[in-house]
C-alpha cells in the first residue's frame, strides 16, 4: 500500500492530558495526512480515547498543540470542528427522533440545506432508502453505523475520525465499512481510526501508531512494523501460528497483561 505524501490534515504535538495526578497522555505526537487511513492502536486505558477526545475538543489538554486543517483547536475550536467528521464509539441520538430528523438536525448545525430529495438520495446511497421515518434504535448495528457515517460526512470534512466503528458488526457490515473508508481515502480525506482489531488495522490502515501508558511507542506502516519487530523475543513469544502478524507485534510491544 502506497503512502500518500499529502499535507497533514491533523497534527498533534506534545499532547499531555492529566486526570488529577494521573497522566493519561504523555507527550503524544502524530499526524494524519490527506488520503491516508491512520490507525491509533493501544490496549484499554493506554490513552487512545483521551488523545482522541482532545482532538475532538471533548476534553481540554493540559498542554500540546492540535491543528485540524490548519486551525488550532484551542484558538479556533469551531473552525477545527467544522473540518472534522466524527463517529463516536458510544454515541447515540435522541431516541425519540427519526433517522431523517437526526440527519436534518446535523445538517442544520453544519449550515447545510437538506431538502427531502437530498435526504432520500443520501439514505438510498447507503441502502437505507426506507429508513427516513424509522427511529435510530430500530436499525441494526450495521445500519446504525452507516447512518452515523453519513452524518459524520454531511459537511464533507477533511478529517474523519472513526472510533472503533466496526465493534459488534458482522463480517459483511465490517467489509462494507472498510470499503467506505477506502472510498473516503481515495477522495482525499484523512481518516483517523481507532480499533482493537489488528486484522482491521492491517487491512485498511496506511500507517499506525501504537500507544501504551500514554506514550506513542511505535509509528509506521503495518508491514514496516512487522518487519522491524519480527525478531524481537517478545513478538516471537506472542506468535501463535508461526507467522508474525500485526497482533503479535502489538502484544510484543504492549505486553500480555490484560488491562482493566
Where does this chain bind another protein (CB under 8 A)?
A: 56-58, 69, 71, 78-79, 81-84, 86, 88, 90-97, 101-102, 104-112, 155-156, 158
| Total residue count of the chain as it appears in this document | 260
Q: In angstroms, what is the minimal distance from the CB of 108 to another protein?
A: 3
For 83, the grid coordinates are 473540518
Question: Of 69 and 198, which CB lies nearer to another protein in the complex structure?
Answer: 69
The Cα angle at residue 48 between residues 46 and 49, in degrees rounded to 5: 115
Q: In angstroms, what is the minimal distance from the CB of 158 to another protein?
A: 6
Question: Of 29 and 97, which CB lies nearer to another protein in the complex structure?
Answer: 97
Q: In angstroms, what is the minimal distance from the CB of 99 to another protein?
A: 13
Q: In angstroms, what is the minimal distance from the CB of 132 to another protein?
A: 14
Q: In angstroms, what is the minimal distance from the CB of 89 to another protein?
A: 9
3-state SS, one letter per residue, for 152-217: HHCCCCCEEEEECCCCCCCHHHHHHHHHHHHHHHHCCCEEEEECCCHHHHHHHCCEEEEEECCEEE
84: nearest Cα among 69, 64, 74: 69
CA distances (Å), origin 2, targets 5, 185, 204, 223: 9, 12, 12, 11
List 205's β-bridge partners, or say none: none
Q: In angstroms, what is the minimal distance from the CB of 65 to another protein?
A: 19
Is residue 127 packed enough to be buried (19+ CB in 10 Å), middle (13-18) or exposed (0-12)?
Answer: exposed
Cβ-based neighbours of 96, under 8 Å, separated by 6 or more: 135
Amino acid at each position: 500500500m502506497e503512502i500518500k505524501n499529502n499535507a497533514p490534515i491533523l497534527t498533534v504535538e506534545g499532547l499531555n492530558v492529566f486526570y488529577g495526578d494521573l497522566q493519561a497522555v504523555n507527550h503524544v505526537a502524530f499526524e494524519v495526512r490527506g488520503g491516508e487511513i491512520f490507525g491509533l492502536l493501544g490496549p484499554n486505558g493506554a490513552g487512545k480515547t483521551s488523545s482522541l477526545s482532545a482532538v475532538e475538543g471533548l476534553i481540554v489538554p493540559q498542554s500540546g498543540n492540535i491543528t485540524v486543517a490548519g486551525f488550532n483547536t484551542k484558538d479556533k475550536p469551531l473552525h477545527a470542528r467544522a473540518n472534522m467528521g466524527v463517529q463516536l464509539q458510544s454515541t447515540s441520538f435522541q431516541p425519540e427522533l427519526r433517522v431523517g430528523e437526526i440527519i436534518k438536525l446535523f445538517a442544520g448545525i453544519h449550515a447545510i440545506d437538506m431538502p427531502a430529495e437530498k435526504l432520500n438520495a443520501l439514505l438510498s446511497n447507503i441502502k437505507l432508502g426506507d429508513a427516513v421515518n424509522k427511529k435510530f434504535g430500530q436499525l441494526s448495528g450495521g445500519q446504525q453505523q452507516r447512518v452515523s457515517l453519513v452524518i459524520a460526512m454531511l459537511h464533507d470534512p477533511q478529517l474523519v475520525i472513526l472510533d472503533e466503528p466496526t465493534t459488534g458488526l458482522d463480517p459483511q457490515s465490517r467489509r462494507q465499512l472498510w470499503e467506505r473508508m477506502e472510498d473516503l481515502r481515495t477522495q482525499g480525506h484523512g481518516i483517523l481510526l481507532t480499533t482493537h482489531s489488528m486484522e482491521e488495522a492491517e487491512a485498511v490502515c496506511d500507517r499506525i501508531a501504537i500507544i501504551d501508558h500514554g506514550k506513542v511507542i511505535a509509528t509506521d506502516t503495518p508491514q514496516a512494523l512487522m518487519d522491524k519487530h519480527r525478531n524481537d523475543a517478545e513478538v516471537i513469544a506472542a506468535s501463535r501460528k508461526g507467522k508474525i502478524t500485526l497482533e503479535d507485534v502489538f502484544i510484543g510491544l504492549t505486553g500480555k497483561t490484560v488491562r482493566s
